[in-house]
Structure 1
Amino acid sequence: MWVPSDVPDNLWQRCGALRAGLPRDAVFSHYTAASLYRVPVPDEPLIHVCTMQPVEPRIGGVVAHRILTLGEGDSCWLRGLRVTTPGRTFLDLAARLDLLSLVIAGDGLAGRAQNGVADLRVAVEAGVGRRGVKLARAALPLLDPASKSPMESRLRFLVVTALLGPVLVNKPVFDDAGEMFAEPDLQFAEFKIAIEYEGDHHHLDEGQWRRDIKRDELYRVHGWILIKVTKMDLLVRPATVIERIRDALISRGWRRP
């Protein structure tokens, strides 16, 4: 289960109310920090904080993580709350998530960091010896802050880890006259292959449905292969998704490196 990207106000209210009872150096962290950044993470009803106090605060509904140091570059202010930076949050989550979940969260955190993935890399390099740092290092080259949703991140993760090669994320494509006609979720530009994740809104919103029909026709007219992937495809038939993409690549002359 995933926290919606539009985090309910009650999370901010709960954190604000708890702040007065926490140690002065306490910083909201882990799942809580990610949720405050509106980054998708597994649902977690407890509030997570970090503190350097020798005795952890014991407050109902709060998980306190006692740490040795918290540098100035590890925390920042977000709408009046002190939270761990996107980089530090990424490193903290690496001790608790699997690789796919960390990449999904990392895409969002990189998108909120001032210097993108570079800020996350700095935090990981400073976390030598910490639990989860090896997983964080493995996730870094798989991140792309251009991803617009958890399912897009999941789709890209599937494609890249299947060794089909690097893909462009949410980049425009142009016709022969230089006019942009689409912006696929993923694309193999060299082979004119576009991959689109089709969420439920593509079918429930009539306007979106009509725009999709026009876009799909433009792909065909300009010589692109379009592969549409649904939630069911990703969650139930991932091998079939890879097979469809691989077959399309081979039809355009691709050979595995």
Structure 2
Amino acid sequence: MDRVFIGSQAVSTGQLTEHELRRWYRPIYRDVYVLKSLDASLRDRTLGAWLWSKKRAVIAGAAAAALHGSRWVDADEPIELIAPSARRHDGLVVRNETLADAEVTTVAGLPVTTPVRTAFDLGRHRAFDEALVRLDALKWATFYSIDEVTKLVQLHPAVRGVRQLKAILPLVDGGAASPKETWLRMLLIGAGFPAPTTQIPVMDGWRLLGVLDMGWEDIKVAVEYDGDHHRTDRRQYAKDQRRIRRLQQLGWIVIRVIAEDTPDDIIGRVQAAIRRRSSPRSTVA
């Protein structure tokens, strides 16, 4: 049997009996089954949603973003479909929306909205902060064109959520390697700092010393978000400490942010670093 399959079809073709279907398999959507012992992945559920639609729907939203390579999409994320018949089902969001042929592509054998159309939908249908995280992650994965998304906005100026999308697009940055980096960048911008450059490469002679999460290269102030791996992976921690020391020797001020830091603390530390660099006594290597 396939990993995900239509139950009635398996019975009608003699692959399974009704008893075997009920005994060994469980439905994830109406008439779409997986093994009871299987922990269905996001990909399984996406395929199952398409089978549930009788192969008529187009995968959209976060599930489409995941198929395009976006990270940070949970396995239990509701699967979004664009289909003529917007039937309700637990775990699915079905929208009856218009799609042009150029807004649909194929990934892993499934019809999926293109990265541009996926961005257009995510920016309209998700809450502002989540939408920005999703668009950053999709930009990291696909390098979709903001200009192309803007063209879709111009083609559909009256659709739901387009005002929010227009506000989000100027903030999208493909240099955010995680949702926390998006949050940190927006915290800095919201505090009145100039928009930081993301993914700043730093050379040590001919060698790449590292890539900084974000910062202001002209004054050599960087801000980095430290994930849990810095606490759990001793080898990585030691490597990072050596890198930070060398960055400091090259004239960088590196502000490291952890989950326990408060926004006020982060903002205060950044303000102090920029003030230090703005001082007449300050020198940058």
Q: Compare the two structures and name the one with the higher strand fraction.
A: 2
Alignment of 1:90-129 (within 5 A): 90-113=119-142, 115-129=144-158
Q: What displacement does 1:123 show?
A: 3.0
Larger Rg: 2
Query: TM-score, normalized by length of structure 2?
Result: 0.75
**Which of 165, 172, 181 does residue 152 from structure 1 map onto?**
181
Q: What displacement does 1:191 show?
A: 0.8
**Which of 27, 40, 43 does residue 72 from structure 2 map onto?**
40
Cα distance change, pair 133–58 in 1 and its aligned pair in 2 (3 A): closer
Letter of the 2:86 partner, please give it.
E
Alignment of 1:173-212 (within 5 A): 173-175=202-204, 177=205, 179-212=207-240
Contact 2:103 2:114 (C-alpha < 8 Å) held by counterparts: yes
Unaligned runs of 5+ in 2: 1-38, 280-285
Report the equivalent of 2:171. 142
Counterparts of 1:126 and 1:110, CA distance in 2: 21
Contact 2:119 2:149 (C-alpha < 8 Å) held by counterparts: yes
Report the equivalent of 2:82. 50
Moved more, 56-65 or 77-86: 56-65
Counterparts of 1:185 and 1:219, CA distance in 2: 13
Counterparts of 1:182 and 1:15, CA distance in 2: 37
Counterparts of 2:51 and 2:66, CA distance in 1: 20
Counterparts of 2:71 and 2:152, CA distance in 1: 18
**Which of 259, 264, 272 does residue 231 from structure 1 map onto?**
259
Counterparts of 2:93 and 2:127, CA distance in 1: 20
Counterparts of 1:144 and 1:98, CA distance in 2: 17
**Which of 124, 132, 148 does residue 161 from structure 2 map onto?**
132
Does residue 215 (structure 1) correspond to residue 243 (structure 2)? The answer is yes
Does residue 164 (structure 1) correspond to residue 189 (structure 2)? The answer is no
Report the equivalent of 2:36. none
Contact 1:184 1:195 (C-alpha < 8 Å) held by counterparts: yes
Structure number with the bigger relative contact order (C-alpha 8 A, sep ≥ 6) is 1
Q: What displacement does 1:14 show?
A: 2.6
Unaligned runs of 5+ in 1: 1-7
CA offsets per residue over residues 160-197 of structure 1, 9 Å max, x none? 2322102121121234x454323110121111111111
Q: What displacement does 1:133 show?
A: 1.1
Alignment of 1:61-72 (within 5 A): 61-67=91-97, 69-72=98-101
Does residue 27 (structure 1) correspond to residue 58 (structure 2)? The answer is yes
Counterparts of 1:60 and 1:204, CA distance in 2: 37
CA RMSD of aligned residues (A): 2.4
Letter of the 1:155 partner, please give it.
L
Counterparts of 2:71 and 2:155, CA distance in 1: 22
Aligned residue for 1:181, secondary structure, equals strand
Letter of the 1:50 partner, please give it.
I
Q: What displacement does 1:57 show?
A: 3.6
Counterparts of 1:226 and 1:253, CA distance in 2: 16
CA offsets per residue over residues 75-111 of structure 1, 9 Å max, x none? 2111111111222222222333232221111111223
